[in-house]
Amino acid sequence: MEMDPAQALEFLQANPSATLLDVREVEENAYCALKGSLLIPLNSLSEALSYVDEKKAVVVYCHHGIRSLAAVRMLREKGFTKATSLRGGIDLWSTQIDASVPRY
């Protein structure tokens, strides 16, 4: 249900059609985001599922990995069997993968 940043990077490079889903708030996304991600805040996700293809793999991220885990649980309940959370969120991504992503 989770993958660490290195696993996520490798997975996303090997699966370019996968959806990278940001479930943070609009203000957080405006400050920094991972390139190519789709923003749907967690509190809007259930109403916006039509924007996510359930047949594709989905890597979900937030700030530290808590909201993304909740999102993955919800997505899996709705039939998104290929949904996975980015462990540690964008914060850990910044420290382990891409230091140009601002930390907050």
CA distance 39 to 87: 18
Nearest to 67 by CA among 101, 40, 97: 40
Nearest to 101 by CA among 24, 15, 13, 3: 24
One pLDDT digit (tens) per residue for the chain, 104 residues: 999 999 999 999 999 999 999 999 999 999 999 999 999 999 999 999 999 999 999 999 999 999 999 999 999 999 999 999 999 999 999 999 999 999 99
CA distance 28 to 62: 9
CATH code of domain 2-96 = 3.40.250.10
Domain boundaries, given as residue ranges, for the chain: 2-96
Judge contact between 62 and 90, C-beta under 8 A.
yes
